[in-house]
């Protein structure tokens, strides 16, 4: 067979004459939405140190946020001249994006970095140090780096500055020390486990009428920094006392009547808020966020002559209307209740006002598991055990999809094993076929050279083919995208699994060119997987939302390697919900007849 094509016609080689160096060419081609967002965030922070107008700064921050939640590459929007249609991006920022996309540089940022030493941005990472303090250190003591700041603090040179004292000086030293061992963000699984333990503790405290999760945890963001918990109580002071003196607490970051925050022995941070039950709705809305969503809520309140806070709505005379439930709070603003997963200021406010919030998919809508492993590859139990687990969850369909043999680290199946496995699948079908439909599939590796691990004759015999990347994820964008496109061009491939291969909380995945992956998915009719493992959640909410808007079917798979793995479905569903998906857009909510019909049309079942 002929080798795969890694250099499509838009390869940088053809453009060499247009640019000074290959490097700048690379910058030009590779400027992703996340990288563009980073640039605008950098601008915003530098401008803060400069004490620039807050609303200008806010505009850059909004633009950055908007770019991050854009499912489509900004470069494609730029080509179509549609950048200014993105909320938060106007003429000036659109021009800056275009400059970045065409030259890989931004004159405005370069001038800004002449005026404000960019190393000052490092100081902002210290808790308690913001732009004002950073500017103060720079302008009075000519401090521009973390090391210089630490030295000055040790020498006691900070305490004499206006607004500083011995305590602030010590806080800065502590903060710098904490930076080195700063706890990373938690996976959702870890965050929920920790949160449930603390909620149980809170609910057992005297006077606590209600305790609930809030913050990014309740919004099911893919990773969680601090845990935010809310409490309804009429007597918060003793609760806060008990909280900060809990034996798991290493350090108290702040303690007040309405709010306290601590760092635990293992570095995790927890913050609790308290209000009386009459204000619980306002508090829960506030603490759930997101920040951007809250700003929108407060703008709405303001337009009606109110001020919205965590206690309730106040009129211009300061009369407080307490808000006991979220439903009441949203209704007062003329909105339907918004599911927490949507509260990111990505259009949910308008949808709630116009009564067109989606009816989001739920865990109970799911009745299929289409990506599982058994002892035929790296799974922990037999096919029959996995089938039994699926039946006990009430599922109607399970696909057994063991690994192909490419990966050295797992025991994959050689093509000849597939035939032997089919015999075992048949035997299990004899025993379980009345209760559940068992599909014989495989998770076939997309090799580093872009070819699939099994020949077409083998793929054709499988009920379901999942294609996925495991190795060589760091290949350049053109190359790794070409691998995926090559896999999708094979008509036997039904599902593209965990497309980027990222590992949460912090290993980035492949640098896929989604501008090519979406059309390839559309052309092939294959489904995009949301891998439900809390370490993957791949594809992510932003890309899933865009894919679904293009009509690409989505499937939520736990990729279970043991029965317990199937419990992770809830994390996958949370990604689908954050992507605004309704049940019909998710394959594993379908009836088995619909699934079989889909597979039949694809020619593989």
Confirm or reject binding of residue 91 to DNA (CB under 7 A): yes
Nearest to 266 by CA among 190, 201, 172, 324: 190
Phi then psi dihedrals of residue 371, to 5 deg: -150, 100
For the bound state, the minimum distance from the C-beta of residue 41 to DNA, rounded and expressed in Å, comes to: 14
Q: How far, CA to CA in Å, does 374 sit from each of 24, 428, 534?
A: 47, 13, 20
Binding mask 263-292 for DNA (x = CB under 7 A): --------x---------------x-x-x-
Confirm or reject binding of residue 255 to DNA (CB under 7 A): yes
For the bound state, the minimum distance from the C-beta of residue 415 to DNA, rounded and expressed in Å, comes to: 53
Interface with DNA by CB under 7 A: which range of 163-171, 470-478, 573-581, 584-592? 163-171
Size of the site for DNA (CB under 7 A): 65
For the bound state, the minimum distance from the C-beta of residue 81 to DNA, rounded and expressed in Å, comes to: 15
- Output 124 or 596, the one with its CB closest to DNA: 124
Identified binder of DNA from the candidate list 5, 14, 22, 92, rule CB under 7 A: 92
Task: Please report the DSSP string for 428-474 in residue order.
Answer: HHHHHTTT-EEEEEEEEEB-TTS-BSS-HHHHHH-SEEEEE--S-TT
- Measure the CA–CA gap between 562 and 79, rounded to whole angstroms: 47
Nearest to 172 by CA among 122, 128, 119: 128
Confirm or reject binding of residue 168 to DNA (CB under 7 A): yes
- Output 303 or 431, the one with its CB closest to DNA: 303
Q: Could you tell me whether strands 227-233 and 208-214 are parallel, antiparallel, or unpaired per DSSP bridges?
A: antiparallel
Confirm or reject binding of residue 313 to DNA (CB under 7 A): no
Identified binder of DNA from the candidate list 222, 263, 310, 568, rule CB under 7 A: 310
For the bound state, the minimum distance from the C-beta of residue 426 to DNA, rounded and expressed in Å, comes to: 55
- Output 113 or 378, the one with its CB closest to DNA: 113
Interface with DNA by CB under 7 A: which range of 5-13, 60-68, 336-344, 537-545? 60-68
Confirm or reject binding of residue 448 to DNA (CB under 7 A): no
What length does the chain have? 605
Nearest to 98 by CA among 43, 45, 41, 36: 36
Confirm or reject binding of residue 218 to DNA (CB under 7 A): no
Integer-rounded Cα Rg, in Å, for the chain is 27
Task: Please report the DSSP string for 261-287 in residue order.
Answer: EEEETTS-EEEEEEE-GGGHHHHHHHH
- Measure the CA–CA gap between 142 and 47, rounded to whole angstroms: 18
Confirm or reject binding of residue 134 to DNA (CB under 7 A): yes
Confirm or reject binding of residue 303 to DNA (CB under 7 A): yes
Buried b / exposed e over 480-495, threshold 16 CB at 10 Å, is: bbbbbbbbbebbbbbb
- Output 160 or 265, the one with its CB closest to DNA: 160
* Contact in structure between 313 and 307 (CB atoms under 8 Å): yes
Q: Could you tell me whether strands 259-264 and 269-275 are parallel, antiparallel, or unpaired per DSSP bridges?
A: antiparallel
- Output 353 or 393, the one with its CB closest to DNA: 353
Identified binder of DNA from the candidate list 80, 111, 167, 434, rule CB under 7 A: 167
Nearest to 588 by CA among 433, 401, 361, 357: 361
Confirm or reject binding of residue 347 to DNA (CB under 7 A): no
Confirm or reject binding of residue 309 to DNA (CB under 7 A): yes
Tell me which residues touch DNA (CB under 7 A).
53, 55-56, 58-60, 62-63, 84, 87-94, 124, 126-134, 159, 162-169, 171, 215, 226, 228, 254-260, 271, 287, 289, 291, 294-295, 298-299, 301-303, 307-311, 314, 353
């Amino acid at each position: 067979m002929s080798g795969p094509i890694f250099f499509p016609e838009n390869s940088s080689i053809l453009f060499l004459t247009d640019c000074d160096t290959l490097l700048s060419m690379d910058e030009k081609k590779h400027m992703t939405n996340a990288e563009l967002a980073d640039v605008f965030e950098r601008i915003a922070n530098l401008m803060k140190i400069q004490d620039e107008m807050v609303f200008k700064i806010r505009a850059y921050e909004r633009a950055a946020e908007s770019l991050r939640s854009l499912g489509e590459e900004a470069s494609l929007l730029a080509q179509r001249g549609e950048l200014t249609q993105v909320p938060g991006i106007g003429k000036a920022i659109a021009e800056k994006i275009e400059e970045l996309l065409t030259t890989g540089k931004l004159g405005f940022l370069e001038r800004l970095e002449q005026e404000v030493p960019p190393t000052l941005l490092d100081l902002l990472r210290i808790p308690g140090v913001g732009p004002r303090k950073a500017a103060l250190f720079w302008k009075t003591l000519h401090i521009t780096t973390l090391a210089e700041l630490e030295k000055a603090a040790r020498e006691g040179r900070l305490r004499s500055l206006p607004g500083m004292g011995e305590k602030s000086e010590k806080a800065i030293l502590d903060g710098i020390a904490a930076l080195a061992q700063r706890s990373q963000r938690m996976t959702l699984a870890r965050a929920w486990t920790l949160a449930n333990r603390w909620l149980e503790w809170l609910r057992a405290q005297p006077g606590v009428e209600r305790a609930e999760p809030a913050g990014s945890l309740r919004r099911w963001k893919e990773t969680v920094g601090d845990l935010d918990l809310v409490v309804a109580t009429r007597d918060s002071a003793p609760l806060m006392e008990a909280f900060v003196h809990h034996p798991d607490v290493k350090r108290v970051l702040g303690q007040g009547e309405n709010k306290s925050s601590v760092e635990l022995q293992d570095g995790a941070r927890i913050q609790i808020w308290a209000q009386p039950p009459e204000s619980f709705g306002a508090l829960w809305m506030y603490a759930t966020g997101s920040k951007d969503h809250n700003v929108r809520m407060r703008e709405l309140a303001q337009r009606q002559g109110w001020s919205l806070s965590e206690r309730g709505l106040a009129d211009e005379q300061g009369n407080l209307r307490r808000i006991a439930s979220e439903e009441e709070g949203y209704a007062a603003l003329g909105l339907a209740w918004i599911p927490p997963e949507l509260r990111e200021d990505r259009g949910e406010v308008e949808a709630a006002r116009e009564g067109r919030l989606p009816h989001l998919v739920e865990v109970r809508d799911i009745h299929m598991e289409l990506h599982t492993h058994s002892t035929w590859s790296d799974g922990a139990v037999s096919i029959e055990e996995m089938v039994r687990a699926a039946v006990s969850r009430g599922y109607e369909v399970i696909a057994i999809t063991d690994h192909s043999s490419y990966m050295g680290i797992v025991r994959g199946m050689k093509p000849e094993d597939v035939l032997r496995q089919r015999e075992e699948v048949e035997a299990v079908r004899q025993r379980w076929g009345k209760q559940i439909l068992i599909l014989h599939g495989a998770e076939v590796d997309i090799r580093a050279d872009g070819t699939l691990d099994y020949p077409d004759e083998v793929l054709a015999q499988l009920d379901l083919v999942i294609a996925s990347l495991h190795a060589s994820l760091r290949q350049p964008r053109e190359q790794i995208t070409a691998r995926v496109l090559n896999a999708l061009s094979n008509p036997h491939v039904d599902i593209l699994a965990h497309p980027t291969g990222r590992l949460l909380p912090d290993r980035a995945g492949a640098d896929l060119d989604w501008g090519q992956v979406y059309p390839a998915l559309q052309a092939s009719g294959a489904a995009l997987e949301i891998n439900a493992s809390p370490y993957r959640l791949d594809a992510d909410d932003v890309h899933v939302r865009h894919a679904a808007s293009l009509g690409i079917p989505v499937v939520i798979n736990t990729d279970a390697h043991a029965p317990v793995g199937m419990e992770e479905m809830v994390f996958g569903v949370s990604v689908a919900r954050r992507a605004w998906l309704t049940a019909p857009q998710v394959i594993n909510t379908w009836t088995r007849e619909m699934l079989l019909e889909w597979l039949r049309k694809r020619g593989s079942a």
